[in-house]
Amino acid sequence: MERSGVRKYDCGEWVVQRVAWTELNAGGRFFGCVNGRNGCNYFRWFDPPVCDNARGVICGLLRRIKEHEDELERLKMEHMNELQAVKRTSNWFKYVVFVVVFLFASLIM
């Protein structure tokens, strides 16, 4: 849910405007008690109901965003795993170079 600064008064607490992101009411703005269900549970829609077509478009876009976020998370994990493998290989390579240089120096002295 997203907040913005509309201020009204109810039950001694602020009433705030929020945006619903449920499948049924995606993008619909409403006023609600700042404490939600823990407060007086005040609730009133600000926007009229969204038509089925717009709701379908919004839900489709939300699903695509979720898919892209999941893909991004998967790629981040893959990247982290590859980075760790490169670091391990790099450390191993440094060790081998050190040993070779040490042995070579021992031989010529």
DSSP labels for 1-33?
A: -EEEEEEEEETTEEEEEEE--SSTTTT-EEEEE
Question: Given the complex with Zn ion, which of 44 and 87 has the nearer CB atom?
Answer: 44
What's the CA gap between 40 and 67, in Å, rounded? Answer: 36
Question: Given the complex with Zn ion, which of 5 and 48 has the nearer CB atom?
Answer: 5
Residues that bind Zn ion (CB under 5 A): 10-11, 13, 33, 39-40, 42
CA angle 87, 90, 94 (to 5 degrees): 140
Question: Given the complex with Zn ion, which of 13 and 71 has the nearer CB atom?
Answer: 13
CB of 36 to Zn ion, least distance (A): 8
CB of 46 to Zn ion, least distance (A): 16
